[in-house]
Amino acid sequence: MNQTPMLEVRGLYKYFPVHQALADSLMRRPHSNVKAVDDVSFSLARGEVLAVVGESGCGKTTIARTLIGLEALTKGEIVFDGKLVNAHSQQPHIGLKQLRKRAQMIFQDPYESLNPRATIFEIVAEPLVVHGMIKDRKERVAAVKSALDDAGLRPAEDYFMRYPHELSGGQRQRVVIASAMVLQPELLIADEPVSMLDVSIRAEILNLLRDLRQKRGISIVFITHDLSTVAYFADRIAVMYLGRMVEIGPAREVLQNPQHPYTKALISVAPVPNPRLRRERVILQGETPNPINLPSGCRFHPRCPVAVDMCKENDPQLIELKQGHQAACLLVTKS
Amino acid sequence: MSENGNLFLRNLAGFWKTFRQNKLGLAGGFLVLVAVLVAVFAPALTDYDPSDIIRDANNRALTFAPPEVHGILGTDDAGHDVWSQLVFGSRISLVVGFMAGFIAMFVGSALGIAAGYFGGAIDSLIMRITDVLLVIPDLPLMLVLVATIRQMELKISPLAVLIVVIGLLYWTSTARLIRSQTLTIKERQFVARARAIGAGHWHIIRKHILPQLMPLIVANTVLILSTAILIESGLAFLGLGDPTKPSWGTMLNFAFDRSAISNGAWWFYLPPGIAILWVSLGCILLGNVLEEMLNPRLAAHHLEGEAGMIAIADVESKG
Ligand SMILES: Nc1ncnc2c1ncn2[C@@H]1O[C@H](COP(=O)(O)OP(=O)(O)OP(=O)(O)O)[C@@H](O)[C@H]1O
Ligand code: SF4
Ligand SMILES: [Mg+2]
């Protein structure tokens, strides 16, 4: 088995400059930024599923878009299969086009992610066209057919000539998945792939992803705001808060033995299938602060139920608690 | 492409169903269609050649003969048959107008897409050029340009000069419209997805941007045609047409030059004027209705429940 991690992210930052009001620039106030991703590091082994969990606005989509190169990163390194992404360095590196052949992204909104004027065949075949692969017409049809088959759209031929608006949300997301899988990628970045779908179809799509992963050993970064879908098939869970990962560890560990107060709060309010695991609900007070003016010290302190004085001054780093289980909280120490 | 054709045909059927209800659009389409048919079948519609000189019994040129005396619309100052000039003039007016219009549409769409899609310096450059072209009064500028090019005696047909000058100066409104639409399309998620797949700019523009713009371009072209025809008439009226191939504008120029008005020869100056009005009114009516139906910016209610040419379906299924 290849030991090189599929993906390694080191000190990733993504700041969006905020448009300044005229008065501000006249006063020479410093430029402010939306700190959407603020120093994030993690790695993903081959065949592993990492779930990235967090509230709306914590920077999940931004991480996904940066990974696939849709956003230029502000600082940091992304290493794909041992190669630095989109860098012109002495180290081994990989270009965006090459990366996009081996890694694919699934977007949150299946209603918006398909070109309304393209047929399902064109959509699924597009990655092949773009990368100039499987040029033979017959083989291409076969590849598209098997991708649609695998995505659970059967009989595939019935879908070839249809248009996105003729399909339901669940079917569209299957088309997106088929299109993502047609190149047989090694890495899949799934940004809340089921959050826009009816609850009744969510399980089907999740099952589909799980099957694909079992059949093909594909690595997945699975982004979600919903802890209950995570328990489903993640190997590891990373919990994000305001652009930072505050806890990361094996899925079981994080769900059953959460360390960070934010993770605890999230889990306490998540619908857990097993009532024995139900803890006292921790309802967080206040709004998520905006990522332009981050709170001083620990960014969670204004809402943290157990915050102490030092939390206002010290910004906690991730520390290793147990094998592979890390949390960033001043009150959490190695056991 | 056959897959696209499929959608196109189905959309066309839905489009026609809605279009049929619109009286103004139908009227516009009728006016344009008649003009085009006249131009196509010109030789069948008249017994004379526009350059024939009609003679009376004494073999003298029959000048300023009213319709009662000769043919359908009488003769002009030199004894040419006015009806045949009008019928054959439609070819010149329409060809110059259409070709100039298509050049303008092509240039405007290409620059509009480039500006909207690439943004940055390309966008600024293109938008500055349109700003400049918008503030310079068009007609004087074209007059000067056409006259100057003529002076150079480049052995280019005067009509080609007209076509190119009109075409290359009249793309600004198209460019602005297409640019703003491109800006919205560019932000849509299927474009991001295409990039994430690894598609290059050319692929994205061709396969994802252009198909969404097509309806808008079609509607806009029809509007541009009316402007181009009017401009051609104006320039020809001012004497910049091709005297050997008279368009309606050239006819008006002759009529005014040869004192048709003081001679009371209404059959000489009224018909070309009405013809110009006819075609441009037709294009404007048709273009406005098409734009209203196809431009996603203007209310889409016309197509509600229909498989329209724009992708209303996907907007609807969302809401
Ligand atoms: N292009 C952008 N320009 C400016 N700010 C942005 C941009 N994209 C995202 N942001 C900001 O960055 C922060 C993180 O956004 P992001 O979309 O990554 O959150 P998310 O975790 O995916 O949220 P959700 O669950 O709502 O999808 C938000 O505050 C958002 O407003
Ligand atoms: S560092 Fe303090 S504020 Fe931050 S999570 Fe820990 S206890 Fe709460
Ligand atoms: Mg998101």
CA-wise closest residue to A118 among B290, B8, B106, B198:
B8
Q: Is the peptide bond before A250 cis (omega within 30 degrees of 0)?
A: no
Say if ligand 1 is within 6 A of residue A16 CB: yes
- Provide the ipTM: 0.90
Domain map (residue ranges) of chain B: 27-54+65-297
pLDDT value at residue B313: 38
- For residue A109 the two structure tokens come to 């909104």
Q: Give dist(CA B239, CA B252) in Å, integer.
A: 10
Could you give the percent of chain A with pLDDT greater than 90? Answer: 65
Instruction: Compare A168 and B155 and report the one with higher pLDDT.
Output: A168
A293: exposed, middle or buried (Cβ count in 10 Å: 0-12, 13-18, 19+) = exposed
Confidence check: pLDDT of B256 > 90: no
Confidence check: pLDDT of A40 > 50: yes
Given a contact cutoff of 8 angstroms between Cβ atoms, the answer to whether B227 and B281 are in contact is no
pLDDT value at residue A179: 95
pLDDT value at residue B299: 44
Mind listing the pLDDT tens digit for each residue in B86-108? 899 899 889 998 999 999 999 99
Q: Give dist(CA A157, CA A160) in Å, integer.
A: 5
Q: Which of A61, A62, A102, A115 has the highest number of chain B CBs within 10 A, making it the mutation to test binding with B?
A: A115
The mean per-residue pLDDT over the stretch B300-317 comes to: 39
pLDDT value at residue A273: 59
Q: Is the peptide bond before A155 cis (omega within 30 degrees of 0)?
A: yes
pLDDT value at residue A180: 94
Least confident piece of the model among A173-177, A293-297, A318-322, B302-306: B302-306
CA of A218 from ligand 1 middle (Å) equals 27
Q: Give dist(CA B244, CA B230) in Å, integer.
A: 20
Confidence check: pLDDT of B22 > 50: yes
A59 contacts chain B (CB < 8 A) = no
Indicate the length of chain A as a whole number: 335
Say if ligand 1 is within 6 A of residue A36 CB: yes
The mean per-residue pLDDT over the stretch A196-200 comes to: 86
Confidence check: pLDDT of A63 > 80: yes
Residue type, B311: A
Mind listing the pLDDT tens digit for each residue in B286-301? 988 888 877 655 544 3
- For residue A289 the two structure tokens come to 């602060």
- The per-residue pLDDT of chain B, averaged, comes to 83
Beta strands at A7-17 and A244-250: parallel, antiparallel or unpaired: unpaired
DSSP state, residue B75:
B
The C-alpha angle with vertex A237 and arms to A236 and A241, in degrees rounded to 5, equals: 155
Confidence check: pLDDT of A61 > 60: yes
pLDDT value at residue A1: 57
Range 92-121 of A in CB contact (< 8 A) with B: 96-97, 100-101, 104-105, 107, 109, 111-119, 121
Res. B318 pLDDT band, cuts 50 70 90: very low
pLDDT value at residue B8: 62
* Topology annotation, domain B27-54+65-297: MetI-like fold (1.10.3720)
Q: Give dist(CA B38, CA B44) in Å, integer.
A: 9
Could you give the percent of chain A with pLDDT greater than 70? Answer: 96
Query: For residue B33, what are the contacts with CB-CB under 8 A and spacing of at least 6?
Result: none
The CA R_g of chain B, rounded to the nearest whole Å, is 23
Helices B82-118 and B266-294 cross at an angle (nearest 10°) of 30
Given a contact cutoff of 8 angstroms between Cβ atoms, the answer to whether A205 and A174 are in contact is yes
Are residues A165 and B313, on separate chains, in Cβ contact within 8 Å? yes
pLDDT value at residue B301: 39
The mean per-residue pLDDT over the stretch A56-81 comes to: 94
DSSP state, residue A51:
E
- The per-residue pLDDT of chain A, averaged, comes to 89
Residue list, ligand 2 pocket, CB within 6 Å = A 261, 298, 300-301, 304, 306-307, 311, 316, 329-331
- Mutate which of A12, A20, A31, A34 for ligand 1? The one with the most ligand atoms within 8 Å of its CB, which is A34
Q: Give dist(CA A84, CA B197) in Å, integer.
A: 19
Q: Give dist(CA B207, CA B209) in Å, integer.
A: 6
| Closest listed ligand to the CA of A261 | 2
Residues linked to residue A221 through DSSP beta bridges, in sequence order: A50, A189
What is the helix (H) or strand (E) element at residue A33, kind and residue range?
Answer: strand A33-44
Confidence check: pLDDT of B273 > 80: yes
Least confident piece of the model among A59-73, A97-111, A224-238, B272-286: A224-238
Mind listing the pLDDT tens digit for each residue in B143-201? 888 888 888 877 778 888 889 988 988 899 899 999 999 999 999 999 999 999 999 99
Q: Give dist(CA B160, CA B137) in Å, integer.
A: 22
The mean per-residue pLDDT over the stretch A251-268 comes to: 91
Are residues B311 and A117, on separate chains, in Cβ contact within 8 Å? yes
Confidence check: pLDDT of A278 > 60: no
Highest mean pLDDT among A83-87, A132-136, A247-251, B271-275: A247-251
CA of A231 from ligand 1 middle (Å) equals 25
